[in-house]
């Protein structure tokens, strides 16, 4: 059996930019795969948790009930949970809607938008479609988050520094490499 | 500017237990800087004269009390505590409060990279505020011809209300309301009368992205901004 640490990732209300930045660690992936196996993640297309995971990376804030469910499952199945990027940390650009009533947001997006054909002016609703929340919430307001890597997206260096430290059981030192944009 | 005068009386004070020479009445932020101690500042800037001490980010300890270094003047025998872990954490908490009180979306802000608040957050290693985001409902004032006022980003530092005047010596910005309803009001007529030079000046004076020049947007790429290294 391998002694490698395991990592899981997910994108909630995010744009996958943080995952793209994660991929920007480039040749350090060679070192990373020596240290970890990537479990449930859009990168592996593994859908569910089949075992307990050491480190979970969360991209995006919480904008609907499915995000809440997924985030809680990550908390239950990961020893360490990391908010990756501005959206996970403070809602990010999706949270720009937080001061606009949800009704107005939906009507603007689906009824008043000029690109919708007149005959199809409906607000989508179905039991299989996640229910949108009143606001976009930072992940740490829904579950306990252990570490935060700011940035939009966080630089590949900051992701690498944090991951490498946590894999080796050390505290991540992000001073000098982090940003908020 | 806190200029040192030959006529000013020389005194000795203690900075973190170390005796240093100062001039009576010298600004403590400038004095500390002269002796290699960098006290974080936000509402204060070099050369502003009397500081209003609104943001409290430069909080230090004197006589067991928390005081703002930018409004404190050197006196004989002062014993000031500046760089302790609890004071650093207090300053960080003040920055975090400003981040949650306003709506600071750095990725979409024109001042990102040139913003004093953002710079301090990074300098004090804030990864996330310890307080809940309030997402206060604030507006943007587009009424003036040359500048816009983004209330979401305003930290009420008083730089624009107290340190900026138009060509006639009249103030363009003023406080309105009280408590959580306090905001900066812009005199549209006077704002429209500002020269391009004064518009640039007030945009630069604002430590965050609250006062912006209309039609400018982003003018420098990431890597070439004020606080990019």
List, for residues A8-29, the tens digit of each pLDDT value. 999 999 999 999 999 999 999 9
| pLDDT for res B1 | 44
Distance CA A61, CA A14 (A): 7
Distance from CA of B99 to the nearest CA of A (A): 10
Distance CA A150, CA A181 (A): 8
Distance CA A49, CA B197 (A): 60
Give which of A180, A93, A153 is closest to B227, Cα–Cα: A180
Show the 3-state SS of B130-147. CCCCCCCCCCEECCCCCE
**CATH number among 1.10.1740.10, 3.30.70.20, 3.65.10.10, 3.90.1150.10, domain B107-213:** 3.30.70.20
Cα B160 to Cα A141, A165, B44, B52: the distances in Å are 35, 44, 12, 12
What is the ipTM score, two decimals? 0.92
| pLDDT for res B4 | 55
CATH 3.10.20.740 domain locations along chain B: 10-83
CB atoms within 10 A of CB A157: 16
Q: How far apart are the first and last CA of chain B?
A: 27
Mean confidence (pLDDT) of chain A = 94
| pLDDT for res A113 | 85
Query: Could you tell me if A88 lies within 8 Å of chain B, comparing CB atoms?
Result: no
Residues in chain A, pLDDT under 70: 1-2
Class in CATH terms, B10-83: alpha beta
Nearest CB among B121, B122, B132 relative to A141 is that of B132
Question: What would you measure as the largest C-alpha separation in chain B, in angstroms?
Answer: 53
For residue A111, the 8-state DSSP code is: I
Cα A104 to Cα B9, B105, B141, B152: the distances in Å are 65, 21, 21, 20
Distance from CA of A3 to the nearest CA of B (A): 30
Q: What is the pLDDT along chain B (229 residues), one digit of tens a residue?
A: 445 556 689 999 999 999 999 999 999 999 999 999 999 999 999 888 888 899 999 999 999 999 999 999 999 999 999 999 999 999 999 999 999 999 999 999 999 999 999 999 999 999 999 999 999 999 999 999 999 999 999 999 999 999 999 999 999 999 999 998 999 999 999 999 999 999 999 999 999 999 999 999 888 899 999 999 7
**Main-chain phi, psi angles of B41, to 5 degrees:** -135, 150
Question: What would you measure as the largest C-alpha separation in chain A, in angstroms?
Answer: 59
**Main-chain phi, psi angles of B99, to 5 degrees:** -65, -40
Instruction: Select from A87, A90, A142 the residue whose CB has the most chain B CBs within 10 Å, as the one to mutate to test that interface.
Output: A90
Token pair of B180 as six digits: 């959580």
Distance from CA of B122 to the nearest CA of A (A): 7
Which sign, positive or negative, has the C-alpha torsion A145, A149, A150, A152? negative
Fold (topology level) of A5-98+135-167: Rossmann fold (3.40.50)
| pLDDT for res A114 | 82
3-state helix, strand, coil in chain A (%, to 5): 40, 20, 40
* Cis geometry, peptide bond prior to residue A153 (ω within 30 degrees of 0): yes
CB contact under 8 A, A99 and B128: no
| pLDDT for res B93 | 98
Adjacent-strand bridge partners of B107? none
Chain A residues whose CB is inside 8 A of the B106 CB are 86, 152, 180-181
Q: Contact, B140 vs B206, CB < 8 A? A: no
Give which of A48, A56, A54, A176 is closest to B228, Cα–Cα: A176
CB pairs under 8 A between A and B: 62
Instruction: Give strand ranges (E) for chain B.
Output: 10-15, 18-23, 59-62, 65-68, 79-81, 140-141, 147-150, 173-176, 183-186, 211-213
| pLDDT for res A2 | 65
Cα B15 to Cα B27, B30, B90: the distances in Å are 13, 12, 18
């Amino acid at each position: 059996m391998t002694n490698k640490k395991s990592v899981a990732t997910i994108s909630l209300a995010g744009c996958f930019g943080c995952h793209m930045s994660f991929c920007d660690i480039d040749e350090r992936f060679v070192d990373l795969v020596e240290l970890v196996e990537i479990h449930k993640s859009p990168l592996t297309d593994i859908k569910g948790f089949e075992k307990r995971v050491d480190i979970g990376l969360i991209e995006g804030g919480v904008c609907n009930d499915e995000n809440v469910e997924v985030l809680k499952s990550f908390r239950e199945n990961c020893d360490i949970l990391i908010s990756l990027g501005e959206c996970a940390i403070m809602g990010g650009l999706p949270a720009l809607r937080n001061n606009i009533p949800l009704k107005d947001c939906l009507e603007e997006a689906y009824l008043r938008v000029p690109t919708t054909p007149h005959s199809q002016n409906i607000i989508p609703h179905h039991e299989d479609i996640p229910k949108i929340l009143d606001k976009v919430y930072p992940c740490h307001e829904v579950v306990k988050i252990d570490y935060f890597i700011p940035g939009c997206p966080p630089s590949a260096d900051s992701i690498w520094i944090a991951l490498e430290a946590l894999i080796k059981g050390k505290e991540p030192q992000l001073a000098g490499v982090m940003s908020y944009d | 500017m806190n200029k040192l005068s030959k006529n000013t009386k020389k005194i000795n004070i203690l900075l973190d237990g170390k005796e240093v020479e100062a001039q009576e009445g010298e600004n403590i932020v400038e004095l500390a800087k002269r002796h290699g101690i960098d006290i974080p500042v936000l509402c204060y800037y070099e050369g502003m004269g009397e500081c209003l001490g609104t943001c409290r980010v430069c909080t230090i300890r004197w006589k067991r009390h928390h005081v703002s270094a930018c409004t404190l003047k050197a006196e004989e025998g002062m014993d000031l505590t500046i760089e302790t872990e609890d004071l650093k954490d207090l300053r960080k908490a003040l920055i975090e409060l400003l981040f949650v009180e306003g709506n600071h979306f750095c990725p979409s802000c024109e001042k990102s990279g040139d913003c004093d608040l953002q710079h301090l957050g990074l300098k004090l290693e804030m990864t996330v505020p310890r307080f809940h985001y309030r997402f206060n409902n604030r507006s943007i004032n587009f009424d003036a011809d040359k500048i816009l006022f983004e209330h979401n980003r305003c930290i009420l530092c008083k730089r624009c209300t107290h340190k900026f005047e138009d060509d006639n010596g009249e103030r363009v910005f003023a406080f309105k309301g009280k408590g959580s309803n306090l905001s900066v009001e812009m005199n549209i007529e006077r704002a429209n009368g500002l020269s391009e030079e004064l518009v640039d000046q007030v945009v630069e004076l604002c430590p965050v992205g609250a006062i912006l020049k209309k039609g400018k947007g982003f003018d420098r790429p990431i890597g070439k901004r004020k606080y990019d290294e």
